[in-house]
């Protein structure tokens, strides 16, 4: 890396000139701001006390010294306390040649780092997926891919929340009002059908509460005694008792949902190494509770409920087992954590879960630490912000959601309309076109959701459609398609060139520097677990390329070496776009 060379040279210069030992790693350099001449900048202000000179003089002396000892340095400029260094064009050209046709450019050695388990998606089985789930799925998938690119062995899993009162609500409503309706008879996708009864339940339940309040009950009591909630609770008891009829309905309705989810997952392009079902894991946590009691980490209250005191850690007392001996959410998660560790033997486990669960995961980690679990320190909650609508949070029960399937269909439709309006794809097969609309529509959606910092909440306005122009997935896909178009015309030209015959323009040099940064960006995205970092980078790359494309001819360039260089630059740009987008789960078309 050139950065390391520069740091070493700077450290050497400072030691020689001012007699102060500095470790090269401790030297801070940064990219030169766009409006100044140069590639890298060293800020000399911190050095003034030891240099005993003013900022300009200090920078000047260091620059002069570097020019004599650092062969890669072309020139330097001093602006106030900033030393701007320009690297020789040859360096960038040799870089381009050295990458050549390396298909793994930017990727770390596979499986060279510790294994990581990424849990994401984690849906409830009582309703279809919505925009919030899409963000979760895309984030989980992208983070897993980025970690792979950083050399980790990565496993992915999906913990399906398939039991509990919410499913019983859908089940009860279906049993009451469904008349045996099935996905086949209704033509509805399975998860949507079940979701429909979840909404029906809620409507009915609210009406019952209203009626009871009119009869003189307090709201709180009405909510507890409404017939439908009692019936749903009764179903849950039956389910836990293993009642055959209840289990049969449960299995049937969950089956519908899974089939629906499978379709949506396939559209989203996500997949998992392992599925876990809470109906299988919810009992496991109870063993951990016993373990915690025997180790004295947990304590029992008079009514028999089991708790942990986390006041010292700045948290409250937390329930881990109910008085009736049934498990709660945290109990299950403790069990699942143990099971995941047994299955994958991973000490690092990432949970892609919304930020509303931050407290929960703090508690989970603290309990695991107190129990002395080896995997405790590696529990990491990748907490992402909610997707909000202009009027606030999405609520499935109230029907104020942006449905995943609807949105995907809408994106594909917009892609189709836009493509047809531009009329560049005439003569393509119907099959290829459908694939293209999917690629572009999903490219727009995925990029839109992934470009913002995962930790921040984001706003989605259904009234405004997701753009296809500017800082968007389709713009980047389009850039790729344009490059491919050139490369098709270039034919077999291999992009070879001699260094000596080439003069790099400003844009060309910028393009080289940008391409050079790809491995660093992958490392940074991995460290921060932020696909947004990668999105920004690829956008900037596409933007620089577009300018380069606009300003320079490739086919008609007469200087053979210059032409060869440009072809090589095109090839590498196309490769980085494709490779980077693949990490985000976004495909790029050859033509569009």
Partner RNA sequence: GGUCUCUUAGCUCAGCUGGAUAGAGCAACGGUUUUCUAAACCGUAGGUCGAAGGUUCGAGUCCUUCAGGGACUACCA
Q: Does 541 bind RNA (CB under 7 A)?
A: no
In the region spanning residues 121 to 150, those forming contacts with RNA, defined by CB under 7 A, are: 124
Q: From the list 539, 562, 564, 575, which residue makes contact with RNA (rule: CB under 7 A)?
A: 539
Q: Does 120 bind RNA (CB under 7 A)?
A: no
Contacts of 583 (CB under 8 A, 6+ apart): 142, 145, 146, 149, 522, 525, 531, 534
- What's the min distance (Å) between Cβ of 501 and RNA? 19
Q: Does 224 bind RNA (CB under 7 A)?
A: no
3-state secondary structure at position 214? helix
Strands 73-79 and 113-119: unpaired
User: 158 vs 161, which CB is nearer to RNA?
Assistant: 161
Q: From the list 455, 493, 509, 578, which residue makes contact with RNA (rule: CB under 7 A)?
A: 455
Q: Does 533 bind RNA (CB under 7 A)?
A: yes
Q: From the list 52, 69, 251, 301, which residue makes contact with RNA (rule: CB under 7 A)?
A: 301
| Contact present, 155 and 91 (Cβ < 8 Å) | no
3-state secondary structure at position 35? coil
Binding part of the chain for RNA, among 41-49, 186-194, 250-258, 334-342 by CB under 7 A, reads: 41-49
Three-state secondary structure of 372-440: CCCCHHHEEEEEECCEEECCECCECCCCECCEHHHHHHHHHHHHHHHHHHHCCCCCCCHHHHHHHHHHH
Question: In 215-356, which ranges are continuous DSSP H helix?
Answer: 219-225, 227-241, 244-268, 278-281, 284-294, 329-344
Q: From the list 131, 222, 481, 541, which residue makes contact with RNA (rule: CB under 7 A)?
A: 481
Q: Does 553 bind RNA (CB under 7 A)?
A: yes
Torsion angle (degrees, nearest 10) of CA 556, 560, 564, 565: -100
User: 408 vs 592, which CB is nearer to RNA?
Assistant: 592
Burial class for 425, CB neighbours closer than 10 Å (0-12, 13-18, 19+): middle
- What's the min distance (Å) between Cβ of 345 and RNA? 26
User: 183 vs 333, which CB is nearer to RNA?
Assistant: 333
Q: Does 63 bind RNA (CB under 7 A)?
A: no
In the region spanning residues 433 to 452, those forming contacts with RNA, defined by CB under 7 A, are: 440, 451-452
Q: In what order do the strands lie in the sheet with 113-119?
A: 274-277, 152-160, 113-119, 348-354, 379-384
User: 53 vs 591, which CB is nearer to RNA?
Assistant: 591
User: 111 vs 465, which CB is nearer to RNA?
Assistant: 465
In the region spanning residues 145 to 184, those forming contacts with RNA, defined by CB under 7 A, are: 161, 163-166
| Contact present, 208 and 228 (Cβ < 8 Å) | yes
In the region spanning residues 510 to 529, those forming contacts with RNA, defined by CB under 7 A, are: 524
Give phi and psi for 381, each to the nearest 5.
-90, 105
Q: From the list 249, 297, 386, 576, which residue makes contact with RNA (rule: CB under 7 A)?
A: 386
Q: Does 458 bind RNA (CB under 7 A)?
A: yes
DSSP states of 151-181 as a string? TEEEEEEEEEB--SHHHHHHHHHHHHH-TT-
Q: From the list 341, 549, 565, 581, which residue makes contact with RNA (rule: CB under 7 A)?
A: 549
Q: Does 484 bind RNA (CB under 7 A)?
A: yes
Q: Does 52 bind RNA (CB under 7 A)?
A: no
Q: Does 192 bind RNA (CB under 7 A)?
A: no
- What's the min distance (Å) between Cβ of 268 and RNA? 20
In the region spanning residues 355 to 384, those forming contacts with RNA, defined by CB under 7 A, are: 355-360
Q: From the list 326, 371, 433, 499, which residue makes contact with RNA (rule: CB under 7 A)?
A: 326
Residues linked to residue 148 through DSSP beta bridges, in sequence order: none
- Angstrom distance (rounded) from CA 358 to CA 15: 48
Q: From the list 511, 512, 554, 569, which residue makes contact with RNA (rule: CB under 7 A)?
A: 554
Strands 40-43 and 73-79: unpaired
- What's the min distance (Å) between Cβ of 462 and RNA? 12
Burial class for 578, CB neighbours closer than 10 Å (0-12, 13-18, 19+): middle
Binding part of the chain for RNA, among 24-32, 191-199, 400-408, 498-506 by CB under 7 A, reads: 24-32
- Angstrom distance (rounded) from CA 21 to CA 502: 39
Binding part of the chain for RNA, among 171-179, 264-272, 321-329, 343-351 by CB under 7 A, reads: 321-329
In the region spanning residues 79 to 118, those forming contacts with RNA, defined by CB under 7 A, are: 79-82, 84
Extract the tokens encoding 302. Answer: 């008079």
Rounded to the nearest angstrom, the gap between the alpha carbon of residue 278 and the centroid of all alpha carbons in its chain is: 24
Q: Does 195 bind RNA (CB under 7 A)?
A: no
- What's the min distance (Å) between Cβ of 111 and RNA? 27
Q: Does 215 bind RNA (CB under 7 A)?
A: no
- What's the min distance (Å) between Cβ of 188 and RNA? 24
- Angstrom distance (rounded) from CA 514 to CA 516: 5
Q: Does 322 bind RNA (CB under 7 A)?
A: yes
Sign, CA torsion 187/188/190/194: negative
In the region spanning residues 228 to 267, those forming contacts with RNA, defined by CB under 7 A, are: none
- What's the min distance (Å) between Cβ of 456 and RNA? 5
Extract the tokens encoding 6. Answer: 């520069």
- Angstrom distance (rounded) from CA 139 to CA 561: 42
Sign, CA torsion 62/68/73/74: positive
Per-residue x/- mask for RNA, residues 410 to 429, rule CB under 7 A? -----x--xx--x-x-----
Q: Does 532 bind RNA (CB under 7 A)?
A: yes
User: 368 vs 481, which CB is nearer to RNA?
Assistant: 481
User: 188 vs 236, which CB is nearer to RNA?
Assistant: 236
């Amino acid at each position: 890396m050139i950065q390391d060379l520069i740091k070493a040279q700077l450290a050497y210069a400072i030691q020689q000139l001012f007699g102060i030992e500095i470790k090269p790693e401790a030297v801070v350099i940064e990219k030169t701001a766009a409006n100044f001449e140069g590639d890298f900048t060293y800020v000399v202000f911190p050095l003034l006390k030891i240099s005993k000179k003013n900022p300009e003089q200090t920078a000047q002396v260091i620059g002069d010294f570097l020019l004599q000892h650092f062969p890669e340095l072309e020139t330097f400029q001093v602006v106030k306390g900033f030393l701007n260094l320009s690297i020789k064009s040859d360096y960038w050209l040799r870089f381009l040649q050295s990458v050549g046709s390396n298909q793994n450019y930017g990727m770390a050695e596979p499986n060279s780092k510790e294994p990581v388990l990424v849990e994401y998606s984690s849906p409830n089985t009582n309703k279809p997926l919505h925009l919030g789930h899409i963000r979760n799925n895309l984030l989980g998938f992208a983070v897993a891919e980025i970690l792979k690119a950083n050399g980790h062995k990565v496993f992915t899993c999906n913990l399906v929340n398939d039991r509990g009162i919410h499913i019983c609500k859908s089940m009860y409503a279906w049993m009451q009002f469904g008349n045996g309706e099935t996905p086949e008879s209704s033509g509805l996708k399975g998860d949507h059908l079940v979701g429909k009864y979840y909404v029906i339940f809620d409507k009915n339940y609210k009406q019952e509460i209203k009626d009871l309040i009119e009869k003189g009950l307090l709201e709180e009591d009405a909510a507890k005694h409404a017939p439908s909630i009692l019936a749903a609770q009764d179903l849950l008891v039956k389910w836990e008792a293993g009642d055959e009829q209840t289990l049969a309905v449960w299995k049937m309705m969950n089956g519908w949902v899974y089939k629906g989810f499978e379709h949506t997952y396939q559209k989203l392009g996500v997949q998992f190494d392992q599925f876990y079902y809470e109906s299988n894991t919810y009992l496991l946590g109870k063993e951990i509770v016993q373990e915690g009691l025997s180790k004295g980490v947990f304590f029992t209250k008079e009514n028999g409920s089991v708790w942990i005191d986390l006041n010292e850690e700045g948290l409250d007392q937390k329930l881990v087992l109910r008085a009736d001996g049934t498990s709660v959410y945290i109990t299950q998660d403790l069990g699942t954590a143990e099971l995941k560790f047994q299955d994958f033997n991973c000490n690092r486990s990432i949970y892609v879960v919304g930020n509303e669960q931050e407290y929960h995961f703090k508690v989970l980690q603290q309990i695991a630490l107190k129990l002395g679990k080896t995997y405790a320190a590696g529990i990491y909650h990748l907490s992402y912000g909610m997707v909000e609508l202009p009027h606030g949070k999405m609520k499935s029960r109230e029907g104020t959601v942006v449905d995943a399937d609807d949105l995907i269909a809408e994106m594909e439709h917009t892609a189709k309309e836009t493509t047809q309006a531009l009329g560049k794809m005439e003569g393509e097969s119907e099959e290829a076109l459908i694939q293209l609309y999917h690629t572009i529509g999903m490219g727009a959606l995925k990029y839109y959701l992934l470009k913002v910092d995962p930790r921040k909440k984001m706003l989605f306005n259904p009234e405004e459609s997701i753009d296809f122009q500017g800082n968007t997935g389709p713009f980047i896909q389009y850039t790729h398609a344009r490059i491919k178009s050139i490369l098709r015309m270039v034919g077999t030209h291999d992009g070879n060139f001699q260094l000596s015959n080439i003069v790099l323009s400003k844009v060309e040099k910028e393009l080289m520097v940008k391409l050079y940064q790809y491995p660093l960006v992958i490392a940074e995205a991995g460290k921060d677990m932020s696909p947004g970092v990668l999105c920004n980078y690829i956008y900037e790359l596409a933007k620089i390329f577009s300018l380069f494309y606009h300003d320079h001819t490739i086919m008609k360039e007469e200087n053979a070496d210059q032409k060869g260089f440009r072809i090589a630059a095109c090839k590498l740009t196309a490769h980085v776009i494709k490779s980077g987008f693949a990490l985000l789960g976004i495909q790029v078309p050859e033509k569009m």
